[in-house]
């Protein structure tokens, strides 16, 4: 049976490979960062560690490893790797392959969707092929492996070349590759710590709760602010919905929950365009394109984000109370 833990082991193996390659190239800080992260992926799950080797990685040690990663992150300097092929060869190869280059990338969402929809029905000799919990993550991991083989087939390159290019991309992204994980954890911390309830109390004290417009503005702008802080609209949504959306807009002013939820998420996405915390959208492209400023992407889309936000708030006021 395929379980999500196998995906963590694959990630750990790749991170350890990246760390060893950096170590051989005398990039000490970068090597230590990836090796430590790989070790956490390999043994960070206490139950998994007990099942696999009988020795669990203590929670205190894992927490210390996370703190050490934060201390190592500022030491990671962007140092370009030597290209394996010339830029002219890359252009010629891209022209020759044409649209076939998109096949590996398109396989990732396609295989993930197929596993998520039909994976629960697959079995061999009465045993399920995929573990039901977190089936989407299992499908994503399987899709990435299939896409790697497909990329090797399409480009007629060896598998080690794919690993080399993946490691080069990982080094280009650097510490920012961890932000989605950390922000997801931050959203859970906010939810469990009762931030939504605190916001509800604050809103009842400060806001003129009898005004639907004031509550709507607080909800929309709060989605933007929390998304800017956490870099993730999905993490901001439960906090703002619990604090303002449900008690004030839906229960008190009769807002349509479906319209409020969908358009409220769009407010959060506007915040995504304005924050470096959304590293996978704003910092990673700047690093890959080697822009002079790491915040060039944010500056380019800031005006669009504000215009979309203003239009969205206006449309929310028109439609959400109908």
Q: What are residue 144's phi and psi, to 5 degrees?
A: -65, -40
- Tell me the DSSP string of 190-244: HHHTTHHHHHHHHHHHHS-TT-HHHHHHHHHHHHHHHHHHHS-HHHHHHHHIIII
pLDDT, tens only, 106-127: 999 999 999 888 888 887 777 7
The pLDDT confidence band at residue 271, using thresholds 50, 70 and 90, is: very high
> Residue 52: what pLDDT?
47
Greater pLDDT, 259 or 230: 259
Percent of the chain with pLDDT strictly greater than 90:
28
Of 219, 231, 305, 232, which is closest to residue 264 (Cα–Cα)? 219
Q: How far apart are CA 253 and CA 105, in angstroms?
A: 45
> Residue 304: what pLDDT?
94
| Residue 1, both tokens | 């049976």
Element (H, E) at 124: strand 123-124
Greater pLDDT, 130 or 321: 321
Q: How far apart are CA 176 and CA 297, in angstroms?
A: 15
> Residue 320: what pLDDT?
92
Greater pLDDT, 229 or 45: 229
User: Which residue in this structure is represented by tokens 């990673």?
Assistant: 284
Greater pLDDT, 255 or 191: 255
> Residue 51: what pLDDT?
47
> Residue 221: what pLDDT?
94
Average pLDDT over residues 164-170: 86
Average pLDDT over residues 95-109: 86
Average pLDDT over residues 50-79: 73
Greater pLDDT, 55 or 16: 16
> Residue 91: what pLDDT?
76
> Residue 49: what pLDDT?
45
| Residue 207, both tokens | 């806001």
- Give the count of alpha carbons within 13 A of 273, CB side only: 17
Average pLDDT over residues 256-262: 92
Q: How far apart are CA 260 and CA 220, in angstroms?
A: 10
Mean of per-residue pLDDT scores for the chain: 83
| Residue 248, both tokens | 């004030």
pLDDT at 169 over 80: yes
pLDDT, tens only, 306-316: 999 999 999 99
Please list the residues that pair with 123 across neighbouring strands. Answer: 128
> Residue 322: what pLDDT?
79
The mean-pLDDT minimum among 43-47, 99-103, 174-178 falls in: 43-47
Domain ranges of the chain: 4-77+88-177, 179-319
pLDDT at 207 over 70: yes
């Amino acid at each position: 049976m395929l379980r999500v833990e196998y995906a963590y082991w694959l990630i750990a193996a790749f991170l350890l490979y990246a760390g060893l390659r950096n170590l051989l190239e005398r990039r000490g800080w970068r090597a230590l960062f990836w090796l430590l992260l790989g070790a956490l992926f390999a043994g960070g799950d206490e139950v998994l560690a007990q099942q696999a080797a009988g020795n669990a990685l203590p929670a205190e040690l894992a927490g210390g490893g996370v703190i050490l990663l934060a201390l190592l992150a500022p030491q990671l300097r962007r140092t370009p790797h030597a290209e394996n092929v010339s830029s002219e060869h890359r252009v010629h190869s891209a022209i020759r392959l044409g649209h076939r280059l998109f096949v590996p990338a398109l396989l990732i969402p396609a295989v993930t969707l197929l596993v998520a929809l039909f994976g629960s029905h697959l079995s061999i000799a009465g045993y399920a092929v995929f573990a039901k919990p977190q089936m989407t993550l299992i499908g994503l991991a399987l899709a990435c492996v299939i896409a790697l083989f497909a990329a090797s087939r399409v480009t007629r390159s060896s598998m080690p070349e794919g690993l080399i290019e993946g490691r080069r991309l990982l080094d280009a992204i650097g510490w920012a590759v961890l932000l989605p994980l950390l922000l997801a954890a931050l959203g859970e911390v906010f939810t469990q710590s009762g931030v939504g309830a605190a916001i509800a109390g604050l809103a009842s004290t400060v806001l003129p709760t009898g005004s639907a417009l004031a509550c709507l503005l607080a909800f929309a702008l709060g989605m933007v602010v929390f998304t800017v802080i956490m870099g993730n609209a999905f993490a901001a949504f439960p906090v703002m919905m619990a604090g303002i959306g449900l008690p004030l807009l839906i229960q008190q002013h009769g807002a349509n929950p479906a319209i409020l939820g969908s358009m409220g998420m769009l407010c959060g996405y506007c915040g995504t365009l304005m924050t470096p915390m959304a590293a996978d959208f704003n910092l990673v492209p700047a690093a890959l394109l080697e822009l002079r400023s790491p915040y060039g992407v944010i500056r380019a889309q800031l005006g669009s984000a504000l215009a979309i936000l203003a239009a969205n708030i206006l449309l929310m006021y028109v439609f959400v109370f109908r």
